[in-house]
Structure 1
């Protein structure tokens, strides 16, 4: 990692952050973490015992300017992971998501613009959600990008998007970074705002930047207590409790599930590769898996007794399909996903079974969405 030895990881006590810290520490890098230990994400309010003496921890909110100034002092690179996640929750906590995601990023960059610093690289954890619906192929019009599905479409169970030009059926294909951004949720809009802020400020300040658009990240260590994000965690808790496993729409909506070890690989490549500077890269496995298929895989992994139930319910702001085109990150950063979904799921299930059984919060979260008319 050329000239970068001391790294600030915002949100570094979280799922991706801790995995990144373990990997970087093995390579001898100095690590500083800025994290507020949000109760919705963190069950415990401390780092694992084997990390306490390995990193410098600043326990503070990423919106705290004084804490940001302290955290940025003397570091060479920043991995900006701190964020509020959860598509559905963002739709009614609009100001909060904007503050934590967009405004805090602006604050970080404002500190760098107005004080001496030694930052040479910023890597931003962005999201595939900025695309809205992914890329599709129309037999007549080729590559197309349909807009968000309307409430009327979802209410009538018209799950699949159609060609925006001719209305014909279309087939999902890998989504490239050049796809026109079309955020369908407040969360997605704040992630796209982060991207512009990082890209523009980095260029003007002479700081190398790399934007990584993560697909659905999973693996041992992810939060099992957040009912608004992480379908593997939500499903695993309900399976272990012998509860029903409700599947939205018709269950054929698909996602690109990428193991956290591959995400760590991508972050490290973005930090240490000059070719990453100024770039935006998809990070995924590059393969779609339906939600119904992943749910059945989990039932099998946990030897569950209750099979998934396709409910026909839906949430406003959800997309139908999106999976990553990895051409650019493969060619520029030499990234290659290494963990297969089968192996990753086995590892995840084994870890989950070693954890205390969490309370299930899905029904309560869904009732909140129904009350706000954001879910059928």
Structure 2
């Protein structure tokens, strides 16, 4: 079986993928810096994610911004799954140098090594993101398919959150396919676009097969419950279990495509194993849009803790209104079908959460930080 390097392999998606690949007989190396924001202050001792793969993989504690760490990690690898990245739309808008260094420069170092040194790498799978699309795909009643620009602060301050076109015509939301316009609205989205394009452009010139996956909002057992910058299911869960009220941005009707971790792992393995994936990028989601109010109410019901829910009308600059995936390509080319939809997934996720210690609710601190930067209105 192949040797596979997973960067960021101690993270939520990485650990789940590593364990499934080990079951299938692959030899796994993980390169990860065990970020405190994700893993806590003493990750080697306390991080459940790290402990789930400890002694099952060759673990390299290091960073993708270090050339020597890359050179060590890439030795004798056949496949690289590149997950290591700074994540979070809001935080990316003021940690610009950090996001650029890790996401773009880290990927550039890997490609530079592979382009200029002997290696055994045959394929690279890059974790891209639905964030590269910015606002999604819409139908105008007269002009047909359109891709509206980012929402104006003045419109949102007036409580107008839905997308309109230049003529203020209300638009019909459509599923976003891989040929849709790429126009990210955050620094995070820009860095993911850059990562994907570098991989898909450079790899074919050096004899390596590239595969890109544009993941939608991934959730499930094992995700961080203490990181206040990513994952509204985790954020809401921590608030509810602390008996704290939930404050919803905008009007609560903004939607996302929530895809369960098992389906993300299954799709990624198809990309690793199937030659039909080579040279292509794929959406990974459920193809279903779920609004934020439904998420909050579903979690309140699952935990049976009745906390107040307030729709605040506040908003973050850089957030998109809607995006859900068109899965036609991944179904046709790789045979992927999502198996866990939101109603079932939320039950699995909440059951796991109830088995975990209640984490400190750090959301207010993160929001105050964004407010000081002028990004929270």
TM-score tier, shorter chain, comes to: over 0.9
**Structure 1 residue 307: Cα displacement:** 3.5
Gaps of 5+ in 1: none
Indicate the residue corresponding to 1:261 in structure 2.
Answer: 262
CA contact (8 A) 2:175 2:323 kept: yes
Indicate the residue corresponding to 1:203 in structure 2.
Answer: 204
Gaps of 5+ in 2: none
CA contact (8 A) 1:299 1:307 kept: no
**Structure 1 residue 141: Cα displacement:** 1.4
Taking the TM superposition and a 5 Å limit, the aligned residue runs for 1:188-199 are 188-199=189-200
Indicate the residue corresponding to 1:336 in structure 2.
Answer: 337
Provide Cα deviations, 1:34-91, integer angstroms capped at 9, x if missing partner: 0000000113513654532211000001111101001000010000000000111100
Using structure 2 for the length normalisation, give the TM-score: 0.97
Provide Cα deviations, 1:192-234, integer angstroms capped at 9, x if missing partner: 0001110111111111011100000000000111111100000
Indicate the residue corresponding to 1:287 in structure 2.
Answer: 288
* SS state at 1:63 partner: coil
Indicate the residue corresponding to 1:226 in structure 2.
Answer: 227
Residues in 1 aligned to 2:13 and 2:183: alpha-carbon distance in whole angstroms: 25
Provide Cα deviations, 1:134-182, integer angstroms capped at 9, x if missing partner: 0111111111111111222221221011124x33100211001101101
Residues in 1 aligned to 2:360 and 2:172: alpha-carbon distance in whole angstroms: 38
Indicate the residue corresponding to 2:37 in structure 1.
Answer: 40
CA RMSD of aligned residues (A): 1.0
Residues in 2 aligned to 1:106 and 1:177: alpha-carbon distance in whole angstroms: 24
Indicate the residue corresponding to 1:348 in structure 2.
Answer: 349
Against the structure 1 CA distance between its residues 290 and 50, is the aligned structure 2 distance closer, same or farther, given a 3 Å change threshold?
closer
Residues in 2 aligned to 1:17 and 1:217: alpha-carbon distance in whole angstroms: 12
Residues in 1 aligned to 2:110 and 2:365: alpha-carbon distance in whole angstroms: 35
| Aligned: 1:150 with 2:152 | yes
Residues in 1 aligned to 2:278 and 2:360: alpha-carbon distance in whole angstroms: 43
* SS state at 1:136 partner: strand
**Structure 1 residue 342: Cα displacement:** 1.4
Residues in 2 aligned to 1:21 and 1:263: alpha-carbon distance in whole angstroms: 12
Indicate the residue corresponding to 1:76 in structure 2.
Answer: 78
Residues in 2 aligned to 1:53 and 1:98: alpha-carbon distance in whole angstroms: 32
Provide Cα deviations, 1:261-304, integer angstroms capped at 9, x if missing partner: 00001110001111111101000011000000111000000111
| Aligned: 1:88 with 2:90 | yes
| Aligned: 1:31 with 2:32 | no
| Aligned: 1:179 with 2:176 | no
Residues in 2 aligned to 1:175 and 1:21: alpha-carbon distance in whole angstroms: 29
Residues in 2 aligned to 1:370 and 1:55: alpha-carbon distance in whole angstroms: 41
| Aligned: 1:135 with 2:137 | yes
Indicate the residue corresponding to 1:12 in structure 2.
Answer: 9
Aligned length: 372
Residues in 2 aligned to 1:153 and 1:368: alpha-carbon distance in whole angstroms: 23
CA contact (8 A) 1:9 1:33 kept: yes
CA contact (8 A) 1:296 1:307 kept: no
Q: 1:51 aligns with which of 50, 53, 62?
A: 53
CA contact (8 A) 2:15 2:52 kept: no
Using structure 1 for the length normalisation, give the TM-score: 0.97
Against the structure 1 CA distance between its residues 85 and 70, is the aligned structure 2 distance closer, same or farther, given a 3 Å change threshold?
same
* SS state at 1:190 partner: helix
Residues in 2 aligned to 1:10 and 1:267: alpha-carbon distance in whole angstroms: 14
Residues in 1 aligned to 2:97 and 2:156: alpha-carbon distance in whole angstroms: 26
Residues in 2 aligned to 1:321 and 1:190: alpha-carbon distance in whole angstroms: 20
